[in-house]
Structure 1
Amino acid sequence: MANRIERKPIEGLFRLLRPANCLMGAAGTLLASIICVGPEEFLDYGSEVLFSLLVVIFFTGAGNSLNDYFDREIDKTAHPERPIPRGLVSPRSALILSVVSFSIAIILSSFINLWSLGIVLTSILFMISYEVSLKREGLAGNLAISWLTGALFLFGGAAVDRMEVAWILGALAFLATLGREIVKDIQDVQGDRGIRLTLPMRIGARNAGFVASLSFIGAVLLSPVPYMQELLSIYYVPIVLVSDAIFIYCETIHFADPKRGQKVAKLAMLVALIAFLFGGII
């Protein structure tokens, strides 16, 4: 019985971190590093990449813990299986875990380079702002989530000192994520009433749809830049054209079917990532 009681808070803290999400974030950063520097030079940055993966793991775990801390009342009904509503861990412990994990991420990033440290500090600011207030503010929350998605790829490029590719990859991720987040808000407009003040509520679903489309168009217009600047190989081109076609298709359907539209946008983002991977390593 004593052993079970001792394991309870340890299990709760482990679940707060959501290890699967942490590993997925680290995998994204690793992929960005490989894309930005290429497989030939990748091993020259072994220690920097290792530190970057650890930073992303601690940062993601900190963000997940912070999310559970702020959503603890909502989770009593929305996600009763999470550690705080289940009584596996106290809200105070979740907050402490978040602070400690963020601190470790900052310390580790300082051993990589100034770009990495700056990206981590900025991302922590956005993460805290999102949980404290931006989550309920619609477009501001969408912009924060879009930055955090793009920053994952920026960070991977910063670790290998190849920001010229990372900026484009991050910008594409930012624009695509922003469009998809807005489409998701259009889909969820009824469920969000009284909880969040989203862009579709402020300007109407159709006008919000046009803003989402502009984001997707921005991603499509930006997509040729890596090849035109000779940052990626010819193998990037045919695959990114498929991604662009999917984004354009998304623009034609998300007005009538937001649920399908945001799924199609997610597929386009995945294909774009594959295009960067092929263009960066072949």
Structure 2
Amino acid sequence: MAVDERVRGVLELTRPVNALVAGILTFTGAFIAQGSELVGSAESVTIAALVTVLATGAGNAINDYFDREVDQITNPERPLPRGAVTPRTTLLFSAILFILAGGLSLTLPPIAIAIALINIGLLVIYTPLLKGLPGVGNAAIAYLGGSAFLFGGAAVESLTAPGILFAIATLATFSREVIKDVEDLAGDQENDLKTLPIVIGTHRALVGAAVVLCLMALLIPLPYLYGTLGRLYLVLVVPATLAMLYAGWISFTDPTRGQSVLKYGTFLTAAAFIGGRLATIT
């Protein structure tokens, strides 16, 4: 096998775009926390973003390692099924990235170190232990996605605003993961998976997702009430919130569209936080 194919396969294991986006979310959390004062914390923020990219890449690689047999049927184009990399190489590569991420995190403030180590632990055990547990796997993915914002705030030792965004993103992502499980119901039943909709029924699962979205909506005004973000934040976040609540509603009849609208609503919420922080600078 050509060397460039092996290199390409190793890079693909990390899902590079996914990993880079996670790093950007960490930077976003730090920016929301500090605004223009972020320049003074550039080193910590850069390290935190790099830790996120490395840990996310490692998590994607080890997920492929554990899913290699299933992927031979469902995702044969991935590096392991197509033979671009070996299981041993995948496991070693993942371990190296995890060690680099953990080592770099030790240069950050204590709360950031704790978040990094917890997240690395979850990434390692997700596929073999948590993925198959109804609701638990959804919650783990939701936490890991939202924690990128929290980690950015922890890197600059300011958790209020990024902490709220973390909670909002985590709740929204949990709802989206449940809705996606409803969307994938037929395939999951065929593969004998035990997702939340299969265990408790699709209607109950969608009701649960909608309730979580309502809880999320209650958090939306907090940055304004705390005085962290101004009125522009409210102007920007209201349509995002309405979009996410609408997503929960239409998911009862069209889960595919619902989870898609919810994803964009989450991005709009993050944009509202950024816009609200920019307004406090200018």
Aligned position for 1:259? 256
CA distance in 1: counterparts of 2:271 and 2:162, whole angstroms: 15
Q: Is 1:18 equivalent to 2:15 in the alignment? A: yes
Aligned position for 1:27? 24
CA distance in 2: counterparts of 1:160 and 1:186, whole angstroms: 39
Q: How many residues align?
A: 278
Aligned position for 1:273? 270
CA displacement, residues 81-125 of structure 1 (integer Å, 9 cap, x when unaligned): 211112121101101111111111111011011111111111122
Aligned position for 1:98? 94
Aligned position for 1:135? 131
Aligned position for 2:235? 238
Q: 1:126 aligns with which of 122, 128, 145?
A: 122
Q: Counterparts in 2 of 1:166-185, with a 5 A limit?
A: 166-185=162-181
Q: Is 1:208 equivalent to 2:205 in the alignment? A: yes
Amino acid at match of 1:121: L
Q: Tell whether the 8 Å contact from 1:135 to 1:196 is kept in structure 2 after alignment.
A: no
Aligned position for 1:112? 108
CA displacement, residues 180-222 of structure 1 (integer Å, 9 cap, x when unaligned): 1111111111111143211111111111111100111011111
Normalised to the residue count of structure 1, the TM-score between the two structures is 0.95
Q: Which moved more, 1:173-182 or 1:133-142?
A: 133-142
Normalised to the residue count of structure 2, the TM-score between the two structures is 0.95
Amino acid at match of 2:181: D
CA distance in 1: counterparts of 2:3 and 2:175, whole angstroms: 45
Q: Tell whether the 8 Å contact from 1:136 to 1:195 is kept in structure 2 after alignment.
A: no
Q: Is 1:7 equivalent to 2:4 in the alignment? A: yes
Q: Could you tell me how far 1:69 is from its partner in structure 2?
A: 0.4
Aligned position for 2:64? 68
Q: Which 4+ residue blocks in structure 1 deviate beyond 4 angstroms?
A: none
Q: Tell whether the 8 Å contact from 1:149 to 1:173 is kept in structure 2 after alignment.
A: yes
Root-mean-square deviation (CA, aligned residues, Å) is 1.3
- Structure 1: stretches of 5+ with no match in the other structure: none
SS in 2 for 1:84: coil
Q: Could you tell me how far 1:277 is from its partner in structure 2?
A: 0.6
CA distance in 1: counterparts of 2:255 and 2:84, whole angstroms: 37
Amino acid at match of 1:107: G
